[in-house]
């Protein structure tokens, strides 16, 4: 008989993580840079050298090596799979980054975006060969106009900030057309605005005038009125705003801005809270970008690509950039040169983020009018649920009142603990959560901005809430060590960012021999 | 709805916990007369199968590049992308993560960005590169703005070989920012004397290589002329694969190098998303737009990567930032990096040689077609032909014969008297049969 | 060593003859955290009291340094280029930022002395 047994229950032993030879900790593996493992003669792509031919590179031929190592396919896969496992992701857990809208990314959208009829077509193919692609852009454009109640749209902006630039360029073009370019040089921006707003205004020569929010976190019509004047070109107002609140006086603000001869740019980063509940066009907006990567769930991809189509009011429509959709008989075309028109010009080389358009339209069609409205409601409901369940422990800057799609807390409740917002965020990492957005908006001290989105089940929300409550109680009980040393259980502990900034190392350099 | 986990029972419990009686209590801040009562007039929800069917029908109305002999370039290029690239970028951890603001749980993204920056710097022959821009054209506009900041001058000189859309993007932004742009006339034969246009007010001269018409240009004398006037050379490329075969812009003295990275790792996608490459000298690093990943250590002394030098960026510097850019092209940059890692030095050089060989073979074939001439002396994988009939008509006639034959120059430069020119590209994806079919069809059309 | 005078923006100035030595206060450096970069003004630049003259950066913030008095920049502390940490280690000594040839020494009268600045810090907190 075979009597070779083996233990099938863990032995009693002291729990100390061993130091390993590899530096790996089980599935958490250390991975060198490709420049340290690759070889100049290795490749994962089999290509045969061409038959001898007469080069036409002339004196321009490269003589020097590029200096790029290569990997075979199995090595390459292992390298990037190992690296990927050091990342948090929506698919792995709740990702409550306020203002970033980390909602579920349906895989159908990835599938359809890769159909050769969308992915394998060139932006400069003859229009007769891309009628379906133009139809898709037209369908998405009309849908976005319907959802926002606006009368025109520019599809080419490549991200939210690029959309802001598009809208503000249209506004500047409109002001020029009125002959007021020399006098209207100011753009009003609330203190709580995302940094892209003032940066965009400054990029095209506007000066920024700050508008304060009131004690409720809202920009009042009175505050706008006080800042308005004949020198003002526009206001850039985020709605719902960066504190997660709907700007209650928005209609009145739009009226007084228009009465003063200025335009109303709405930052639509938070449009996801109100899709199907209100139309920006009904609120008096002149231009608004829509972050397809937020509201319509095209994946964030570790920081992009995004897409930022801009809807425009009738007043701004003539100034929309090229190219735009047109018709030649029954056929769709892209109008690439606006002869004699007022278009302000071109924003990017081609027609926009087609790959994102396909995904966004798939998301919209999947939800439909009913599903989109439900998604907005669920997102707002979930944020308020979190707010209501944490309110007794954590402090809110604007009191106990409903929020939109994100719940904002400050750090007053931590004041006596010696624990900062950052420490609290890092402790969440040890609990297996990505932290919320911290220290934004800047107007709220130690801000913690939580956006659960509509993608979480009640069980998931409840566990998140219980986790935060547990951490909050530990913080209030004075368990500082847990927070100051966090994270301990992540692939990395806290980084020396001072060193990274004082002596920037921005690429790998071959170590000197010896 | 398949994407929404909450059910009505959950919703009721949650509302009760909040202390609201109905969902609209939470939307009370929206003025009552602006709150929608009816559904928006778009279709109701659809099943996955219905959506796929509907979008597939639209896709089917397009002629995919892979389904015909295909020779279109002019800023975007069809290359073979290894299957593993698309597999890896669809891993949840890359696809569904955000900008790596919490480095302890984002080392995957951060290390790949560091690898990307290293690759871009090596390819362009520059000292530093950023973590990507939207695309080549917007990177070009940002390079001009950076040159303005560095030189404290406001005039950019654009070569007539610069992609016309790039020139338009730079021009539109400059117009709005109230900067000056001098755009040289189209320079089909690479004969312009752009150095003569550089004066004491010029911040930079922007030159593309290979240029829009496919010509290879020597940037070294332009760099010298620019530097003599205190101006910078911004070198542009739209075909990243060319850097495997031609001298790097860094070697020729460029100060800022920008380009389109789509060719490596990324599909044509009808114009986007693409990935803008941006590289420069180390001493200019504080004027770079966009994100930068840098190396440091963690509390245990282990090598780690983090976003750094963020005080340049809009989220900290607001109206004084180097750019308004926030979202970049992270996933496209990742695709670039993975494809580049698979190619390596050996693969990239061979890929570039095959591209060049295919273009030379095509040029030789087309030059034999009666009435057609190839205008370029030196080129990489793209060149310009002159046809005896208007280029637009020739391209349409080729489509009738199932061939996508290139881009009529007049599409990008209407009313410039260049109606008889076609920009033609050939990559490793073209076979000898494709080239033979093109030449035969062209001969038939022109006979 | 002559006495420091402070502005409400937390710059100090120390008079050395006709020349004022300018930096940020010890309190300011502590608030900023690790200084990682200093953007120095150009020598020869004319600055006005309260106008932007330099920028001090930490990892997560960039703060303008305003001139506490008007005049011409006559020297800058090049050592900060390689060692921005000098500001953290010795803000009012080796961490000076620039020297200014004062246009009007009476401008200093509007600034706070050490005791007044310490009082001011209490009110700010």
Question: What domains sit in chain B, N to C, each tagged with a CATH number?
Answer: 67-80+345-446 (3.90.1150.10), 83-339 (3.40.640.10)
Cα separations (Å) of B195 from B198, B203, B210?
Answer: 5, 13, 18
Nearest C-alpha in C relative to A497: C59
A172 and B176: CB-CB below 8 Å?
yes
> According to the model, what pLDDT value does residue C125 have?
65
Dist CA B40 CA A384 (whole Å): 25
Kindly state whether B35 is in contact with chain C, defined as any CB-CB distance less than 8 angstroms: no
> According to the model, what pLDDT value does residue A196 have?
95
DSSP state of A299: -
> According to the model, what pLDDT value does residue B235 have?
98
- pLDDT exceeds cutoff 80 at B190: yes
State whether the Cα torsion A484-A488-A490-A494 is positive or negative.
Answer: positive
- Chains touching chain A, criterion 3+ CB pairs below 8 Å: B, C
Instruction: Identify all chain B residues contacting C33, using CB atoms and an 8 Å cutoff.
Output: none
For domain A110-364, give the CATH number. 3.40.640.10
Measured between alpha carbons, how far apart are the two ends of chain A, in Å? 59
DSSP state of A512: P
The CATH class given to the A368-489 domain equals alpha beta
CA dihedral A141, A126, B411, B355 (to 10 degrees): 110
Nearest C-alpha in B relative to A456: B5
Domain encompassing residue C79: 4-124
C60 and A439: CB-CB below 8 Å?
yes
Q: Which residues are CB-neighbours of B31 under 8 A, at least 6 positions away?
A: A248, A250, A251
Strands A437-438 and A448-450, bridge-based pairing: antiparallel
- pLDDT exceeds cutoff 80 at B175: yes
Minimum-distance CB partner of A304 among B89, B244, B330? B330
Instruction: Identify all chain C residues contacting B320, using CB atoms and an 8 Å cutoff.
Output: 62
Dist CA A466 CA A89 (whole Å): 21
CA dihedral A478, A482, A485, A489 (to 10 degrees): -170
Instruction: Identify all chain B residues contacting A449, using CB atoms and an 8 Å cutoff.
Output: none
pLDDT tens-digit map of B60-89: 999 999 999 999 999 999 999 999 999 999
> According to the model, what pLDDT value does residue A513 have?
81
pLDDT tens-digit map of A162-218: 999 999 999 999 999 999 999 999 999 999 899 999 999 999 999 999 999 999 999
Find the CATH number of the domain harbouring C9: 2.40.50.100
Count other C-beta atoms under 10 Å from residue A512's C-beta.
5
Measure C59 CA to nearest chain A CA, in Å.
6
Measure B320 CA to nearest chain C CA, in Å.
10
- Please, are residues B225 and B207 in contact by the beta-carbon 8 Å criterion? no
> Quick one: what percent of chain B has pLDDT higher than 70?
100
Alpha carbon A446 to its chain's center: 21
Dist CA B271 CA B167 (whole Å): 17
Dist CA A231 CA B129 (whole Å): 40
Question: Position of tokens 């001009």?
Answer: B144
Q: Nearest CA to C102 among C74, C66, C61, C124?
A: C74
Mean pLDDT of A5-21: 79
> Quick one: what percent of chain A has pLDDT higher than 70?
99
Mean pLDDT of B6-34: 97
Please give the tally of structural domains in chain C.
Answer: 1
Cα separations (Å) of C114 from C12, C13, C27, C50?
Answer: 10, 11, 12, 19
Q: Nearest CA to B264 among B277, B282, B254?
A: B277
Nearest C-alpha in A relative to C37: A502
Kindly state whether C110 is in contact with chain B, defined as any CB-CB distance less than 8 angstroms: no
Measure B197 CA to nearest chain A CA, in Å.
24
Reported confidence tier of residue A514, pLDDT bands at 50, 70, 90: low
**Could you tell me the two tokens for B53?**
């069917």
Dist CA B288 CA B29 (whole Å): 42
Strands B180-183 and B155-158, bridge-based pairing: parallel
Q: Mark which residues 408-447 of A lie under 8 Å from C by CB.
A: 439
- pLDDT exceeds cutoff 50 at C1: no
A501 and C59: CB-CB below 8 Å?
yes
> Which regions of chain A carry the CATH code 3.90.1150.10?
368-489
Question: Position of tokens 């690790």?
Answer: C34
Instruction: Identify all chain C residues contacting A437, using CB atoms and an 8 Å cutoff.
Output: none
Kindly state whether B286 is in contact with chain C, defined as any CB-CB distance less than 8 angstroms: yes
Kindly state whether C36 is in contact with chain A, defined as any CB-CB distance less than 8 angstroms: yes
Query: What backbone torsions phi and psi does residue A280 show, to the nearest 5 degrees?
Result: -55, -35
**Residues counted in chain A:** 514
**Residues counted in chain C:** 125
Nearest C-alpha in A relative to C82: A502
- pLDDT exceeds cutoff 60 at B200: yes
Strands A331-335 and A324-328, bridge-based pairing: antiparallel
Nearest C-alpha in A relative to B350: A49
Number of B:C CB contacts under 8 A? 16
Instruction: Identify all chain A residues contacting B243, using CB atoms and an 8 Å cutoff.
Output: 62, 66
Alpha carbon A116 to its chain's center: 27
pLDDT tens-digit map of B223-243: 999 999 999 999 999 999 999
- pLDDT exceeds cutoff 90 at A394: yes
Reported confidence tier of residue A53, pLDDT bands at 50, 70, 90: very high
Q: Which of C32, C39, C62, C81 to mutate to test the interface with B (most CBs of B within 10 A)?
A: C62
Measured between alpha carbons, how far apart are the two ends of chain B, in Å? 60
> Which regions of chain A carry the CATH code 3.40.640.10?
110-364
> According to the model, what pLDDT value does residue A4 have?
83
C61 and B311: CB-CB below 8 Å?
yes
Instruction: Identify all chain C residues contacting B307, using CB atoms and an 8 Å cutoff.
Output: none
Dist CA A161 CA A194 (whole Å): 10
Nearest C-alpha in B relative to A384: B18
> According to the model, what pLDDT value does residue B153 have?
97
Kindly state whether C89 is in contact with chain A, defined as any CB-CB distance less than 8 angstroms: no
- Please, are residues A200 and B174 in contact by the beta-carbon 8 Å criterion? no
Average pLDDT of the residues of chain A: 96
- pLDDT exceeds cutoff 90 at A10: no
pLDDT tens-digit map of C104-116: 989 999 999 999 9
B92 and A120: CB-CB below 8 Å?
no
Alpha carbon B58 to its chain's center: 25
> According to the model, what pLDDT value does residue C2 have?
61
DSSP state of A340: T
Query: What backbone torsions phi and psi does residue A399 show, to the nearest 5 degrees?
Result: 80, -175
A502 and C37: CB-CB below 8 Å?
yes
Dist CA A443 CA A149 (whole Å): 31
CA dihedral A300, A301, A305, A309 (to 10 degrees): -20
**Could you tell me the two tokens for A353?**
């983020």
Dist CA A363 CA A415 (whole Å): 43
Count other C-beta atoms under 10 Å from residue C53's C-beta.
23
- pLDDT exceeds cutoff 80 at A11: no
A123 and B76: CB-CB below 8 Å?
yes
**Could you tell me the two tokens for B368?**
């034999």
What is chain C's alpha carbon radius of gyration, rounded to the nearest angstrom?
13
> According to the model, what pLDDT value does residue A1 have?
76
C60 and A498: CB-CB below 8 Å?
no
Kindly state whether C18 is in contact with chain A, defined as any CB-CB distance less than 8 angstroms: no
Dist CA A288 CA A308 (whole Å): 9
Alpha carbon A237 to its chain's center: 18
Nearest C-alpha in A relative to C33: A498
State whether the Cα torsion B49-B52-B58-B63 is positive or negative.
Answer: negative
Cα separations (Å) of B53 from A297, A362, B2, B49, B227?
Answer: 20, 11, 17, 6, 58
Kindly state whether A350 is in contact with chain C, defined as any CB-CB distance less than 8 angstroms: no
Minimum-distance CB partner of A277 among B35, B216, B274? B35
């Amino acid at each position: 008989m075979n009597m070779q047994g083996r233990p099938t229950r863990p032995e009693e032993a002291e729990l100390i993580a061993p130091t390993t030879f590899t530096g790996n900790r089980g599935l958490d593996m250390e991975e060198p840079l490709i420049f340290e493992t690759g070889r100049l003669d290795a490749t994962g792509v089999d290509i045969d050298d061409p038959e001898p031919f007469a080069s036409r590179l002339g004196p321009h031929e490269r003589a020097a090596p590029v200096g790029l190592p290569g990997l075979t396919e199995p090595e390459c896969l292992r390298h990037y799979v190992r690296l990927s496992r050091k990342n948090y992701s929506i698919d792995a857990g709740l990702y409550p980054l306020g203002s970033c809208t980390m909602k579920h990314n349906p895989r159908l959208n990835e599938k359809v975006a890769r159909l050769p009829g969308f992915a394998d077509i060139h932006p400069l193919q003859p229009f007769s060969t891309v009628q379906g692609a133009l139809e898709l852009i037209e369908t998405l454009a009309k849908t976005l106009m319907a959802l926002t109640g606006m009368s025109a749209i520019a599809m080419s902006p490549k991200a939210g900030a690029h959309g802001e630039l598009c809208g503000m360029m249209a506004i500047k073009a409109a002001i020029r057309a009125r002959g007021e370019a020399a006098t209207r040089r100011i753009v009003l921006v609330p203190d709580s605005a995302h940094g892209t707003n003032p940066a965009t205004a400054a990029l095209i020569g506007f000066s920024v005038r700050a508008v304060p929010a009131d004690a409720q976190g809202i920009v009042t019509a009175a505050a706008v009125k006080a800042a308005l004047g004949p020198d003002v070109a526009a206001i850039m107002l985020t709605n719902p705003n960066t504190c997660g609140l709907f700007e209650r006086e928005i209609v009145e603000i739009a009226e007084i801005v228009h009465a003063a001869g200025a335009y109303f740019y709405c930052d639509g980063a938070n449009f996801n809270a109100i899709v199907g509940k209100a139309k920006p066009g009904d609120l008096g907006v002149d231009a608004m970008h829509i972050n397809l990567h937020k509201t319509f769930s095209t994946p964030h991809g570790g920081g992009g690509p995004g897409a930022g189509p801009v809807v425009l009011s009738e007043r701004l429509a003539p100034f929309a950039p090229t190219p735009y959709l047109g018709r030649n008989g029954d056929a769709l075309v892209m109008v690439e040169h606006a002869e004699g028109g007022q278009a302000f010009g071109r924003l990017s080389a081609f027609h926009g983020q087609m790959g994102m358009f396909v995904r966004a339209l798939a998301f919209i069609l999947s939800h439909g009018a009913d599903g989109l409205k439900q998604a907005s409601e669920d997102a707002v409901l979930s944020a308020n649920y979190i707010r209501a369940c944490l309110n007794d422990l954590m402090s809110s800057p604007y009191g106990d009142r409903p929020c939109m799609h994100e719940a904002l807390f400050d750090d007053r409740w931590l004041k006596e603990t010696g624990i900062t917002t950052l420490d609290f965020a890092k402790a969440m990492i040890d609990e297996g959560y990505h932290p919320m957005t911290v220290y934004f908006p800047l107007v709220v001290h130690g801000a913690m901005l939580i956006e659960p989105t509509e993608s979480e089940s009640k069980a998931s929300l409840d566990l998140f809430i219980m986790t935060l409550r547990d951490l909050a109680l530990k913080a209030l009980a004075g368990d500082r060590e847990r927070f100051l040393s966090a994270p301990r259980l992540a692939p990395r502990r806290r980084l020396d960012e001072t060193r990274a900034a004082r002596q920037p190392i921005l690429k790998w350099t071959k170590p000197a021999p010896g | 709805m398949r994407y929404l986990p909450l059910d009505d029972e959950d919703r009721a419990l949650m509302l009760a916990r909040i202390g609201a009686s109905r969902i609209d209590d939470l939307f009370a801040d929206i003025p009552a007369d602006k709150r929608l009562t009816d559904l928006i007039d778009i279709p109701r929800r659809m099943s996955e199968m219905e959506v796929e069917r509907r979008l597939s029908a639209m896709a089917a109305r397009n002629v995919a590049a892979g389904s015909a002999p295909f020779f279109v370039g002019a800023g975007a290029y069809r290359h073979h992308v290894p299957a593993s690239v698309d597999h890896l970028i669809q891993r949840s951890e890359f696809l569904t993560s955000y900008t790596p603001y919490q480095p302890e749980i984002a080392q995957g993204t951060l290390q790949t960005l560091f690898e990307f920056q290293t690759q871009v710097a090596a390819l362009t022959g520059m000292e530093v590169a950023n973590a990507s821009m939207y695309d080549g054209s917007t990177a070009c506009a940002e390079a001009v703005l950076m040159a303005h900041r560095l030189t404290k001058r406001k005039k950019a000189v654009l070569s007539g070989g610069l992609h016309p859309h790039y020139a338009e993007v730079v021009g539109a932004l400059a117009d709005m920012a109230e900067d000056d742009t001098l755009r040289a006339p189209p320079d089909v034969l690479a004969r312009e004397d752009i150095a003569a246009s550089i004066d004491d007010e010029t911040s930079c001269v922007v030159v593309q290589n290979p240029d829009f018409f496919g010509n290879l240009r020597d940037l070294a004398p332009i760099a010298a002329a620019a530097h003599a006037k205190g101006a910078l050379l911004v070198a542009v490329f739209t075909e990243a694969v060319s850097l495997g075969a031609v001298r790097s812009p860094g070697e020729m003295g460029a100060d800022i190098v920008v380009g389109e990275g789509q060719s490596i790792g990324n599909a044509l996608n009808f114009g986007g998303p693409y990935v803008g490459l941006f590289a420069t000298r180390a001493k200019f690093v504080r004027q770079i737009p966009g994100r930068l990943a840098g190396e440091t250590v963690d509390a245990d002394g282990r090598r780690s990567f983090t976003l750094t030098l963020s005080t340049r960026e809009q989220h900290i510097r607001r109206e004084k930032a180097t750019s308004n850019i926030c979202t970049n092209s992270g996933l496209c940059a990742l695709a670039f990096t993975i494809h580049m890692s698979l190619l390596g030095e050996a693969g990239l050089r061979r890929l570039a040689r095959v591209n060049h060989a295919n273009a030379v073979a095509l040029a030789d074939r087309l030059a034999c077609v009666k009435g057609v001439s190839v205008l370029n002396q030196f080129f990489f994988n793209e060149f310009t032909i002159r046809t005896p009939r208007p280029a637009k008509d020739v391209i349409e006639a080729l489509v009738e014969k199932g061939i996508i034959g290139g881009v009529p120059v007049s599409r990008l430069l209407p009313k410039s008297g260049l109606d008889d020119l076609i920009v033609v590209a050939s990559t490793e994806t073209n076979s000898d049969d494709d080239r033979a079919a093109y030449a035969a069809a062209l001969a038939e059309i022109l006979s | 060593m002559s006495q420091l005078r402070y502005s409400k923006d937390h710059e100090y100035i120390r008079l050395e003859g006709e020349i004022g030595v300018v930096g940020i206060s010890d309190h300011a450096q502590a608030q900023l955290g690790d200084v990682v970069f200093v953007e120095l003004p150009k020598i020869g630049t004319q600055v006005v009291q309260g106008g932007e003259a330099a920028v001090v950066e930490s990892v997560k913030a960039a703060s303008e340094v305003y001139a506490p008095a008007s005049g011409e920049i006559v020297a800058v502390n090049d050592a900060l280029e390689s060692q921005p940490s000098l500001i953290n280690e010795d803000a009012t000594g080796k961490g000076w930022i620039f020297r200014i040839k004062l246009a009007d020494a009476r401008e200093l009268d509007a600034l706070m002395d050490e005791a007044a600045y310490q009082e001011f810090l209490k009110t700010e907190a």
